[in-house]
Structure 1
């Protein structure tokens, strides 16, 4: 790579929450705003993904096909998900189940955002699933930010110096890892 060459990155971001006022979704929107011009963060919802049914894998619903196409077209993946009853959310696990048998996920560099320092069980479970699916977790791109109880929305996260810096640093680590892996 020459000095003047700037890599462009396409990153798919998934929130494990369907809640309108989700801290996880707000963190992804903040990250998209904080991203430099050469980084495109595409936030994709999971609310229209039907329950996983292996009988439908060969004739997947259009929402699943769209998710797979977005994942195939991206350079990396960003996941932010809350913890429900010591596990990842059903909506996120369901989406991942649809991706298990495809090749779109294999070796995809992944950044994780945890919006609650006390939510450790879901992160551990999520990491296990992602590794099993052959995703490439980027250790230095994993960030835990204290949003639970903060009342911060997207703009509040962007304006919060420490949190926005942590997000930018993790995003930079993801992009560096993608560059190294190319």
Structure 2
């Protein structure tokens, strides 16, 4: 199962980046993080039926299409979703790579609330894009600053790590459940272990 993560922060040493890296440690399979910083501003005139997407847009769409599940980790900015992340999602609306894709949303904040505005907005946007938002895998992580080791840039707080472990476990279970069932023809042609004597 291949996981693609999207970070809502472009900062090199962001707390949400630390959360993302810590969460990926609990994914049992290949995982990558999309680079959304080079995407152009979304413009519907550049996204028509006959339009050729720019290289960064095409790369993002290819990564999302190849993934079995998505993990979105983001801060909250001015009670909303950071512009770079919303821009990335806008480029995926019409092209359909998110359709039926299991998605987890994790927001982390330095404040006593865990980014509840951004978390709710992201879940709503992803549902509108017909992504399969796995509610049990979504988390709001408050007061995140002291829970991160500034040297390793990883979460060290055991309660938060337990939350991340549980979130990724729910996402993995949903991804396995959504995997297509092999057809009888495919099963018949699949390699079999040799029978014993």
Q: TM-score range by the shorter chain?
A: 0.7 to 0.9
Structure exhibiting the larger radius of gyration computed from Cα positions: 2
Pair 1:140-2:132 in alignment: no
Moved over 6 A (4+): none
Corresponding residue number in structure 1 for 2:123: 127
Deviation per CA, 1:33-80, whole angstroms, max 9, x where unpaired?
Answer: 3333xx222111211111011122221110110000000000000001
CA contact 2:119–2:140 (8 Å) conserved in 1: no
Contact (CA 8 Å) 1:138, 1:177: kept in 2 or not? yes
The 5 Å alignment of 1:33-112 reads 33-36=25-28, 39-57=29-47, 58-112=51-105
Aligned partner of 2:162 in structure 1 is 165
State the distance in 2 between where 1:173 and 1:108 align: 14
Mind listing any 5+ residue stretches in structure 1 that lack a counterpart?
A: 1-8
TM-score (normalizing by structure 1): 0.87
Structure 2 residue matching 1:110: 3-state secondary structure: strand
- Deviation string 1:86-115 (CA, Å, 9 cap, x unpaired) is 110100110011001012111110011111
RMSD of aligned Cα (Å): 1.7
Secondary structure of 2:174's partner? Answer: helix
Q: CA deviation at 1:157?
A: 3.6
| Greater relative contact order (CA < 8 Å, ≥ 6 in sequence) | 1
Aligned residues between the structures: 172
Give TM-score scaled by structure 2 length. Answer: 0.81
Give the gaps of 5 or more residues in structure 2: 180-197
User: Relative to 1, partners in 2 of residues 1:128 and 1:95: Cα closer, same or farther, differing over 3 Å?
Assistant: same
